[in-house]
Copies of this chain bind each other. A is one copy, B any other.
């Protein structure tokens, strides 16, 4: 087993850069599909730099090596880059140029910039190209140089695929393909190219296990008017699936043959793709013979609107998940065991595993005690793992995949005495959570219109939180999906309408550095009233810890909303609890 140092690896990379005539090489963190988590095969940036964070970009030039990462990782990156000769570039800090700015300033005219185009979205590539236009730079977008120097690269994941029956998906593959083809026809497209793994999984009613926390499988698709090609490792499909796909005119092709297939589309034909989702090598390959129609993926919207079967299933998933998390809450508040952040997360996972249809965690659990919870992206490691004491707050943001859907819940638990500041924060965040969950609004309303309902109780007190208030959630798919989103800032895309059938999180928070972090998150289903107005139906069913509530910070209406929610939690969850738990839940959901 080779154990080259990072310096050696960078030098090997420079050698192949030299032989390929490349003056600057960029190594990104993404996989070929824009996934939120990436497998070992895709961790070239980690291999070459030694930096293990989930966000960062490495640039290697003939003279220098630099790594850009954001505020979450400044300390970790500085530590891991020691002795590597790689300079740390703190993104967002004053006087720190972006990668494009750095290249713009330091590249010689006519240089060749290389990267693996499969790891850069088309949109990102256009932005880079625009910024370097004056430099007359050439891009070598098909150079996976990291692969050339990385001898013991882990293989691509190739876990078995399984079929999600219509009992759970609510719509056949044929029906979905037909809806997609109608959209292609609207846009005068002969082909649709897909690479987002959750879109392919949704469309084909298949699930896999190639990406951590996302039940998807590595694949691409090219759909035409009558048939479709699915590019994936052939060994991941059993005979029945191959047959079922063939019946719907879906042919399985080798994963690696996708780019060639795109390049070979008939000239004169038109291929539709989403530049925000497909990587730039896909766009380049598609444009070789065919003309490219850039459109937002039609599947994104279809997938976000849950059908009646999915909605009914999701309710069931939330009752199971609610029972598991409520049991955890009782255990957490009354156990005599010594608990740490990690052991608490394991205990919660145990409760979830007792539920039928449970398939695994939907994201890396956040179990953050005291001041740790003030770090928004905190996830306990062996090094940071903190013992939970009988005072203060524990923030617990976790979720599960069930056959009946995906959950995502944050509760902040009171473990003993609280300061007035903690109680005030706990209650103000709860007020915003309740106000947003009770919103009523006409069709056409966007997340940017709604956001203030969750923030106004905090804003009035001069407080705020620095993350979005809500994201879409997939059905037994990615826990973060678009296009529905709740945020007050109108950046770039102004945000899409909140449509009936979409599932969105409602998760305001408050983070006081060095002290505590609070977040209250439930998932809500958008529904339509008889009069045509829309409202949210809360899916998540776990009490808010009343030990944290200071009634002075709630309006009469918010108190009524809280009591009505707790009444519902008791009614729906009590049947799944033992007598002791049930008795406690009665108190935990009492009217205040």
Binding site for B on A (CB under 8 A): 439-442, 444-446, 448-453, 456, 459-460, 462, 464, 488-490, 494-495, 529, 531-533, 555-557
A448 contacts which chain B residues (CB < 8 A)? 448-449, 490
8 Å CB contact of A452 from B452, B462, B556: B452
Instruction: Known contacts A440-B456, A452-B453, A460-B440; decide if A490 and B556 are in contact (CB<8 Å).
Output: no
Contact A449/B451 with A490-B494, A557-B555 known, Cβ cut-off 8 Å: yes
Chain B residues lying within 8 Å of A452, measured Cβ to Cβ, are 439, 441, 445, 449-450, 452-453
Oligomer copy total? 2
User: Least Cβ distance of A511 to chain B in Å?
Assistant: 16
Residues from chain B with Cβ under 8 Å of A533 in the complex: 459, 462
Q: Are A453 and B456 in contact (CB under 8 A)?
A: yes
Residue in B closest to A445 when the chains form the complex, CB atoms: B488
Q: Which residue of B lies closest to A450 (CB)?
A: B452
Tell me whether B456 and A439 are in contact (CB under 8 A): yes
Say yes or no: B446 contacts A531, CB within 8 Å.
Answer: no
Complexed CA–CA distance, A533 and B460 (Å): 8
Cα-based distance from A373 to B533 in the complex (angstroms): 25
Nearest opposing residue in chain B for A462, CB measure: B531
6 shortest interchain CB distances as A-B pairs? A462-B531, A440-B460, A440-B459, A449-B488, A490-B494, A449-B452
How distant is A451 from chain B, measured CB to nearest CB, in Å?
7
Residues of B within 8 A of A456 (CB): 439-441, 453
A508 to chain B, nearest CB (A): 14
CB-CB < 8 A to A464: which residues of B? 442
CA distance A59 to B464 in the complex (A): 54
Closest Cβ neighbor of A529 among chain B residues = B462
Q: Are A444 and B489 also in contact (CB < 8 A) when A452-B453, A459-B533 are?
A: yes
Question: What's the minimum C-beta distance from A304 to chain B, rounded to whole angstroms?
Answer: 19
**Most chain-B Cβ atoms within 10 A of its Cβ — which of A452, A531, A532?**
A452
Bound form: Cα–Cα A452–B532 in Å? 17
Partner of A556, one of B446, B495, B556: B556
A12 to B130, alpha carbons, bound, how many Å? 56
